[in-house]
Amino acid sequence: MSRFVIFNQYPARMRYQEWWEAELEFQFKKYFDDVITIPGIGYQEDYTNEQFSPAKASIIWEATQIQNAIEFVKPDDILFFCDISYPGLSPQLAFHFRENKKFGYCHATSMNNYDIFEEYRNSKYLSELSVMQAMDKVFFGTEYSLNKHYKNNIFKLQINNSSVVGLPKPSYLDGISIYDSPKQYDVGIISRRNKQKVNEYLLDSILQVGFSVGFHDHTSSRQWEDYLSWIHSCRCIVSLANEETYGYQVMDCEAVKIPFIAPNKYSYPEVVVNSLRYNDSTELIKLIRYYKNFNQSTSSMSSWAKETSLNWFENVSKEIKECL
């Protein structure tokens, strides 16, 4: 019987890769009889919140992962690559394991505005598309993310088979209870402060009104509970993004029932309820003023985002099986 073989990314601390590495094998075992994870060596490396993942540690992880794949992968194994948009080594194995059924998740793309690989985005994007061509199916978080690839497909390469499946609910949110953290800020911003994640014009608009604003990238927390507690210390969380292909922050805010206010564009119309989306700075300020004095629990996620997050492993497993 075919095994389900997972290629995880380097489990960067306090990022989604950390809990994906810990949870995916366990969750997929509910739907496949034999599931294994191809391990890498966990080299420790410090990195700043401007980096998505520590470069040297990621390379060592994937290099050793490839060595293990050579030993462990069998011709009839089903291969699942956790991120085919990151410039890693492991997804390139799709070209070598030609006889295997191969599937991959695409979290983002170098064609996103202000992407970290923007300076050579075309060449990296060609690599992304090439890997997609080698897959039996590619999964995306949102229609926006999928369409971003088709719209920017300047090389006229076709993405063979694709599906929009959302993102799974993080395991660190399981059994979470509402925090009683005292309120410290009117507005919280929980992202890296760079051009992709923070529109400085919108930030200036917030500061000029006189709202108290706190910044807290989750990588600065030592554990997920500290991060979630900080979220609950804010009256609301605001996305000032200039690009987003899903946004795990909306799930984090949903878990502790803090309103997540987001632009009415990018992926947000799919994952954030309409009442929490703004079209310009005026609407943004109005929403902050309203939720600054709002003392009830608030649901931020759309019904589609909730459903797909709760049933992600079941849905993805079903679609994979349909391709076998």
Question: Of 144, 185, 187, whose CA–CA distance to 284 is shortest?
Answer: 187
Q: Which amino acid is at 38?
A: I
Average pLDDT of the segment spanning 193-220? 93
> Among 34-38, 148-152, 153-157, which stretch is predicted with the lowest mean pLDDT?
153-157
Residue 157: pLDDT band with limits 50, 70, 90: low
Residue 178: pLDDT band with limits 50, 70, 90: low
What is the rounded CA–CA span in Å between residue 244 and residue 186?
A: 23
Q: Is the pLDDT of residue 50 over 90?
A: no
Q: Compute CA distances 230 → 18, 178, 179, 221, whole Å.
A: 20, 12, 9, 9
106-133: b or e for each residue (b if 16 or more CB lie within 10 Å)? Answer: bbbbbbbeebbbeeebeebbeebbbbbe
DSSP 283-320: HHHHHHHHHHT--S----B-HHHHHHHHTHHHHHHHHH
Average pLDDT, rounded, for the chain:
90
Higher pLDDT, 182 or 64: 64
SS3 263: strand
What is the rounded CA–CA span in Å between residue 31 and residue 25?
A: 10
β-strands 234-238, 277-278 pairing: unpaired
Per-residue pLDDT, 174 = 85
Q: Is the pLDDT of residue 212 over 80?
A: yes
Higher pLDDT, 153 or 23: 23
Question: Of 4, 10, 112, whose CA–CA distance to 52 is shortest?
Answer: 10
Higher pLDDT, 2 or 7: 7
DSSP 11-70: --TTSHHHHHHHHHHHHHTTT-SSEEE-----------TTSSS-HHHHHHHHHHHHHHHH
**pLDDT over 70 for what percent of the chain?**
94
> Among 52-66, 138-152, 154-168, 273-287, which stretch is predicted with the lowest mean pLDDT?
154-168
Query: Chain centroid to CA 222: how far?
Result: 20
Strand partners, 139: 105, 163
DSSP type of residue 240? B
Sign of the torsion angle spanned by Cα atoms 24, 26, 30, 32? positive
Strand partners, 199: none
Q: Is the pLDDT of residue 45 over 90?
A: no
DSSP type of residue 8? P
Per-residue pLDDT, 179 = 66
Contact 254, 301 (CB under 8 A): yes
Residue 153: pLDDT band with limits 50, 70, 90: low
Question: Of 188, 304, 193, 191, whose CA–CA distance to 256 is shortest?
Answer: 188
12-23: b or e for each residue (b if 16 or more CB lie within 10 Å)? Answer: bbbbbbbbbbeb
SS3 71: helix
Per-residue pLDDT, 124 = 86
SS3 237: strand
Question: What pTM did the predictor assign?
Answer: 0.94
> Among 7-21, 69-83, 278-292, which stretch is predicted with the lowest mean pLDDT?
7-21
